[in-house]
A and B are shown apart, each in its own frame.
Chain A
Amino acid sequence: MSTLLALTVAGLVTGCIYALTASGLVLTYTTSGIFNFAHGAIGMIAAFFYWQLIEWGVPTLPAFLLAVLVLSPLMGVVVERIMIRRLGNASLEVTLTVTVGLLLLLIAIANTVWDPLTARRVQPFFGSHQVTVGGVILSYHQLVVIAAAVVVPLALWAFLRQARTGVALRAVVDDRELAALTGASPSTVGMIGWAMGAALAGLAGVLLVSQVELNAITLTLLVINGYAAAVMGRLSNLPLTIAGGLLLGVLQSLAIGYVTISWLNQVQTSIPMVFLFVALLIAPPTRLRVGQLAPLLAPRVPSARRSLQSALVFLAIAALVTAILPAGQVASVTHGVAIAIILLSLVPMVGYGSMVSLCQLTFAGIGCVAMAKTGGSVLGLVVAVLAPAAVGLLIALPTMRLRGLYLSLATLAFGYAMDDNFFSNSSVMTQTLGLPVPRPLGIDGPRPYLLFVTAAFTVCALGVLALRRSTFGRRLVALGDSPAGCATIGMGIRSTKLGIFALSAGLAGLGGALMGGQEGVVGYTDFPLLLSLTLLLMAVVWGVRTISGVLLAALFFELIPHLNGQLGPVGNSVLSLLVGLGAVGLGKNQNGIVGTLLQKTSGLTKLPSLPHPRRAADQGDQPVREEVLTGAQS
């Protein structure tokens, strides 16, 4: 009994931290409409900064205040000014990409400034002082956490309801333009929202830092757990979000205490992601929004004849390059082309269907493992496609009614859980030796294998283009453009959605298998979720709607380690971020770098640029949400 109580209390304390970070996430999401993937990373930076200040001999309180009330809001303001403001009405994949880029950049900065190999520890507040309440030992630190989790949301609530700026924060969410017409400045208000959200992330980070090992990725992912709580509050309701955070903390704590199933070795750490998945499933369905006509220029789809010609030219060039490539480069290029196949799987899903999958590398990993287990025969290749496709179907079924951001978060939860429970499972691959992967069809020699992978890429690319020209492709684009429009013309979205998930996952699986064949041995760290995010970033930046875009993205990705040698460890993410910012900034062309080039040579379908009308049209029938943020009234 006392164990249960102790575990519950410990869980509540963790839950308080989740609740705090999730409130910050909700605040930025509601005020800017952008889901901040880098929320956790901001908390992480604040935590490191706090450690640094303590290390320099700054007393606890000033260090705490500097980290939470100065540095964190400053980060929020800078991010809002530099990145978020430019996004305007950008599509989901662009906004996700930009914040994912920020996440990777912040992790890279932390790893550069604070050597990740050094162990760091921070003393909890008030050292080891503790009190016993009702038989449960509570440290002063835990009391501080609980106090913060009580005071901060109350203060936030009061601010949002009573202060005019707080009212304006909610008003800007409701109708940005009208807010401006009343005299409130939406940009200032947005900045305040981001500053407050970042401060909450920082607060969570600093409260966490003495409880866990100070590691950039661990801390970032811990704060990401707050996503689950935020989704429970449907990204808009603060009281529900806080309840979600507490519940999550308790569940996780109880799981650590009571679940001792050996084959689910990591189940405790994936509780938040399971929670996120369930929260997504039980959340009431999102209403179909009447599609708004975004003035997006889609790249023109090449005809069958044209794409076949390009494919032949490409193959000829590839053969030539394969012949003259220095021996030392073959492996790297082969790896790059295999990555290109994985990125190709994003084209129909993200590029055509506007469904942003965050776990494409997970599917690739499943394909790779499937082939490794069945051998490199034709059968092995078939299994490498079918196994992830089946898993894709399994993901698509429960998430059928999720759209947009929620769908992306579901794929994130899946990828995260697979990281912890599948790839690191000893029955899948031994952690020390990894998993040997055969080369498919017994193709030997590096150059023939490169040719084989290139041919596979070409065939798949032709297939994707043919798919785009088919009825299924048109359905896919229609689904991405306006689900409501699809419904009104009686087009079922079910088969389209199931189809695209299976197809995209299968394609990624093939890419993963070919990549594994190149590596020879894969380890459990070869398919991490963060790399999925990096790949998505690359694809979107270079142009996820075009074949050439993803090919360039893959080759650039392959080039990074080489550039890395010259730029130092931070080069990696700085490069990707620069490319990301550049692409977003470049006239806000949502088709990425390749799209921008295409536009210059007018390879895009022309659409007149439209005024961006105030959402007046859909306000008439827009359902009234529950009171944003405060959750009061009905």
Chain B
Amino acid sequence: MTAPTLTGALELRRVNAGYGKVAVLHDVDLVVPDGGILALLGPNGAGKSTLLRVASGRTQPTSGTVVLRGQDVTGRSPERLARTGLCSVPEGRAVFPNLSVTDNLRMWTYRPGLSRKDVEERAFARFPRLKDRRRQLAGRLSGGEQQMLAMSRALTANPDVLLLDEISMGLAPVVAAELFSLVRQIADSGTPVLLVEQFARTALEIADTVAVMSQGRIRVTGSPDEVRDRVLETYLHADTAHARQDPAPS
């Protein structure tokens, strides 16, 4: 399946991106290894979500390339990327609030090779609670249930890469912990995961590799143990680096 020269399931090579005249990402190089969880950490406004937008095709990079399984996919529309095998769960509740649970599951079948029955069977087997609520509108589910529904897409799609953006946001700690153990399971079953988090502690616990971003650049990459002590430093360092750039009398 995969060419032997490959090191990552998804790679960003010297990617620059932004909105209008505001540049957000500067020469970002990131390799999502072919297996395990890569956690992307960074303070507010570091460019994490923009990086995910570029990776999922929602924002086009101004330069640089995005490579999925050895294939240059720069400029591909999000729907084509999704059908190819990139599953991206965006920030917030990644469900259709005015669609019933079954209708939401129906939408997951846009991934080729999945029938309606496959999706429902797999989703309901993992989350029996969704089966009880299958006729309810997704918007009326609790936050945790909505996130289960969102994650059921990742579970059923069996994607080449899974991108998760701040999935724990606004959830009770217990629910968040459950969610993270689910992410671990998905990764253990062989799906490479890129997990974006603002809160470092939990992410450091479950990640295999960690990249820390600030001000649109990847600052540190390494194993959680290597990075652990340097996370706070990087967060702070970003600010001092910024301060140093200001014109100051010397």
Q: Which residues of A contact B (CB under 8 A)?
A: 164, 167-168, 170-171, 173-175, 177-186, 295, 608-611, 614, 616-617, 619-620, 622, 624-625, 627-628, 633
Residue of A nearest to B20 (CB): A609
Residue of A nearest to B84 (CB): A183
Pick out which of these stretches binds chain A: B6-14, B89-97, B194-202, B232-240: B89-97
Is B58 on the interface with A (CB-CB < 8 A)?
Answer: yes
Q: Which of B61-115 contact A (CB under 8 A)?
A: 77-79, 82-83, 88-100, 103, 106-111
In the bound complex, do residue B79 and residue A185 qualify as a contact, i.e. CB atoms below 8 Å apart?
A: yes
Q: Which of B148-181 contact A (CB under 8 A)?
A: 153, 170
A residues near B93, Cβ cutoff 8 Å: 616, 619-620
What is the bound-complex CA distance between A620 and B108, given in angstroms? 22
B residues near A178, Cβ cutoff 8 Å: 90, 94-96
A residues near B109, Cβ cutoff 8 Å: 164
In the bound complex, do residue B19 and residue A168 qualify as a contact, i.e. CB atoms below 8 Å apart?
A: no
In the bound complex, do residue B92 and residue A620 qualify as a contact, i.e. CB atoms below 8 Å apart?
A: yes
Residue of A nearest to B97 (CB): A624
Residue of A nearest to B106 (CB): A167
| Other-chain residue from A180, A614, A619, A620 in contact with B79 (beta carbon distance below 8 A) | A180
Give the shortest distance, in Å, between A239 (CB) and chain B (any CB): 16
In the bound complex, do residue B111 and residue A183 qualify as a contact, i.e. CB atoms below 8 Å apart?
A: yes
Give the shortest distance, in Å, between A602 (CB) and chain B (any CB): 14
In the bound complex, do residue A633 and residue B92 qualify as a contact, i.e. CB atoms below 8 Å apart?
A: no
Is B21 on the interface with A (CB-CB < 8 A)?
Answer: yes
A residues near B98, Cβ cutoff 8 Å: 170, 173-174, 624-625, 627-628
What is the bound-complex CA distance between A174 and B98, given in angstroms? 6
Write the B107-136 contact mask toward A (1 if CB under 8 angstroms, else 0): 111110000000000000000000000011
In the bound complex, do residue A610 and residue B96 qualify as a contact, i.e. CB atoms below 8 Å apart?
A: no
In the bound complex, do residue A608 and residue B99 qualify as a contact, i.e. CB atoms below 8 Å apart?
A: no
In the bound complex, do residue B58 and residue A177 qualify as a contact, i.e. CB atoms below 8 Å apart?
A: yes
In the bound complex, do residue A619 and residue B100 qualify as a contact, i.e. CB atoms below 8 Å apart?
A: no
A residues near B77, Cβ cutoff 8 Å: 180, 185
In the bound complex, do residue B79 and residue A624 qualify as a contact, i.e. CB atoms below 8 Å apart?
A: no
| Other-chain residue from A174, A181, A609, A620 in contact with B82 (beta carbon distance below 8 A) | A181
What is the bound-complex CA distance between A167 and B82, given in angstroms? 18
Give the shortest distance, in Å, between B95 (CB) and chain A (any CB): 8
In the bound complex, do residue B135 and residue A170 qualify as a contact, i.e. CB atoms below 8 Å apart?
A: no
Give the shortest distance, in Å, between B50 (CB) and chain A (any CB): 8
In the bound complex, do residue A609 and residue B22 qualify as a contact, i.e. CB atoms below 8 Å apart?
A: yes
From known contacts A608-B22, A620-B170, A624-B139, infer whether A180 and B78 are also in contact, taking CB-CB under 8 Å: yes
Residue of A nearest to B87 (CB): A181
| Other-chain residue from B90, B106, B111, B153 in contact with A177 (beta carbon distance below 8 A) | B90
What is the bound-complex CA distance between A171 and B101, given in angstroms? 12
What is the bound-complex CA distance between A181 and B87, given in angstroms? 7
B residues near A622, Cβ cutoff 8 Å: 97, 139
From known contacts A177-B90, A179-B107, A616-B92, infer whether A624 and B78 are also in contact, taking CB-CB under 8 Å: no
From known contacts A608-B20, A616-B90, A619-B92, infer whether A624 and B110 are also in contact, taking CB-CB under 8 Å: no
In the bound complex, do residue A181 and residue B78 qualify as a contact, i.e. CB atoms below 8 Å apart?
A: yes
A residues near B82, Cβ cutoff 8 Å: 180-183
B residues near A609, Cβ cutoff 8 Å: 19-22
In the bound complex, do residue B100 and residue A633 qualify as a contact, i.e. CB atoms below 8 Å apart?
A: yes
What is the bound-complex CA distance between A291 and B94, given in angstroms? 22
Residue of B nearest to A175 (CB): B96
In the bound complex, do residue B78 and residue A174 qualify as a contact, i.e. CB atoms below 8 Å apart?
A: no
| Other-chain residue from B91, B99, B170 in contact with A614 (beta carbon distance below 8 A) | B91
In the bound complex, do residue B107 and residue A627 qualify as a contact, i.e. CB atoms below 8 Å apart?
A: no
Give the shortest distance, in Å, between B83 (CB) and chain A (any CB): 4
In the bound complex, do residue B99 and residue A184 qualify as a contact, i.e. CB atoms below 8 Å apart?
A: no
From known contacts A167-B99, A170-B98, A624-B98, infer whether A184 and B90 are also in contact, taking CB-CB under 8 Å: no
B residues near A173, Cβ cutoff 8 Å: 98
Is B137 on the interface with A (CB-CB < 8 A)?
Answer: yes
In the bound complex, do residue A627 and residue B137 qualify as a contact, i.e. CB atoms below 8 Å apart?
A: yes
A residues near B60, Cβ cutoff 8 Å: none
Give the shortest distance, in Å, between B136 (CB) and chain A (any CB): 8
A residues near B58, Cβ cutoff 8 Å: 177, 180-181
Q: A180-B77, A624-B97 are in contact. List 5 more A-B contacts (CB 8 A).
A: A170-B96, A178-B96, A180-B82, A608-B20, A624-B140
Leading 7 A-B pairs by shortest Cβ distance: A609-B20, A183-B110, A616-B92, A624-B139, A183-B82, A611-B19, A180-B78
Q: Which of B78, B83, B96, B111 has the most CB of A within 10 A?
A: B96
A residues near B136, Cβ cutoff 8 Å: 633
What is the bound-complex CA distance between A326 and B85, given in angstroms? 71
B residues near A175, Cβ cutoff 8 Å: 96-97
A residues near B110, Cβ cutoff 8 Å: 164, 168, 182-184
| Other-chain residue from A164, A183, A616 in contact with B106 (beta carbon distance below 8 A) | A164
What is the bound-complex CA distance between A180 and B88, given in angstroms? 10
Give the shortest distance, in Å, between B26 (CB) and chain A (any CB): 16
What is the bound-complex CA distance between A179 and B56, given in angstroms? 13
From known contacts A178-B94, A616-B91, A627-B98, infer whether A170 and B20 are also in contact, taking CB-CB under 8 Å: no
What is the bound-complex CA distance between A183 and B107, given in angstroms? 8
In the bound complex, do residue B19 and residue A181 qualify as a contact, i.e. CB atoms below 8 Å apart?
A: no
Would you mind naming 12 contact pairs between A and B with Cβ atoms under 8 Å apart?
Answer: A164-B106, A174-B99, A175-B96, A177-B78, A178-B90, A181-B88, A608-B22, A609-B19, A609-B22, A614-B92, A616-B92, A620-B170
Give the shortest distance, in Å, between B99 (CB) and chain A (any CB): 6
A residues near B50, Cβ cutoff 8 Å: 611
B residues near A170, Cβ cutoff 8 Å: 96, 98-99, 103
What is the bound-complex CA distance between A545 and B96, given in angstroms? 37
Q: Which of B26-80 contact A (CB under 8 A)?
A: 50, 56, 58-59, 77-79
Residue of A nearest to B109 (CB): A164
B residues near A633, Cβ cutoff 8 Å: 100, 135-137
Give the shortest distance, in Å, between A294 (CB) and chain B (any CB): 13
B residues near A177, Cβ cutoff 8 Å: 58, 78, 90
